[in-house]
Amino acid sequence: MSQSNTVTVHILDKEYCIACPADERANLESAARYLDGKMREIRSSGKVIGADRIAVMAALNITHDLLHKQERLDQEATSTREHVRDLLMRVDHALAADPDSQEA
């Protein structure tokens, strides 16, 4: 298992020290930059005031995006499975109709 290190990230002008395995440092820093960007977008809109409210709105927006993408991936996986099933059926029918495949 990886050894934990402390990583300092900056989110909406505040500094946070977070324990993180060394091999996850880049992912954590990337996530922090993404969250910081989303929070800054919300703050700059002027519609939401207060760091707590901005954080909740950012979390809701990010969660909405994640769930929407997951739903789309699930739909694509279902479509791919159906397509593969259809192709397998076609292959089965083609093999059953092929007189050369009947020889034994």
What DSSP state is assigned to residue 47? S
Termini Cα distance of the chain: 56
**What is the helix (H) or strand (E) element at residue 97, kind and residue range?**
helix 51-97
Report the CATH superfamily, name and number, of domain 4-97.
Cell division protein ZapA protomer, N-terminal domain (3.30.160.880)
Find the mean pLDDT for residues 61-75.
97
Q: What are phi and psi of 98, to 5 degrees?
A: -80, 115
Least confident of 6-15, 70-79, 94-103: 94-103
Chain segment 24-34, per-residue pLDDT in tens: 999 999 999 99
pLDDT-derived band at 73 (thresholds 50, 70, 90) equals very high
Element (H, E) at 41: helix 25-45
* pLDDT classification of 98: cutoffs 50, 70, 90: confident
Predicted TM-score (pTM) of the model is 0.72
Three-state secondary structure of 66-93: HHHHHHHHHHHHHHHHHHHHHHHHHHHH
